Amino acid sequence: MSIRMIAKDLYRLEKDVEHLEEALGKSPPDKRPVLEEKLRKVRAERDRVRAMLEGSKEDPPYRKPL
């Protein structure tokens, strides 16, 4: 997967988190557990993709100065 595709996916996940946080703030108490679970899953996916992107930008160990 290219860095550009990973970055686009990360951007989409960031927007999903924002929308779910907004919806959670406006939701009635009976809908909160469902939204909280969705938000937890999207945040975990966002963090995984962010770590993947950060790892791809890191120099390989053989190119780091001593």
Contact 13, 49 (CB under 8 A): yes
Does residue 61 form part of some domain?
no
Contact 32, 20 (CB under 8 A): no
Does residue 63 form part of some domain?
no
Does residue 29 form part of some domain?
yes
The answer to whether residue 66 scores a pLDDT higher than 70 is no
Does residue 59 form part of some domain?
no
Residue 29 structural domain: 3-54
Per the structure, the count of domains in the chain is 1
**Tens of pLDDT along 3-52?**
899 999 999 999 999 999 999 999 999 999 999 999 999 999 999 999 99
Does residue 66 form part of some domain?
no
Q: How far apart are CA 55 and CA 21, in angstroms?
A: 27
The closest alpha carbon to 6, from 41, 58, 54, 43, belongs to 54
Rounded to two decimals, the pTM is 0.79
The answer to whether residue 59 scores a pLDDT higher than 80 is no
Does residue 28 form part of some domain?
yes
Does residue 9 form part of some domain?
yes
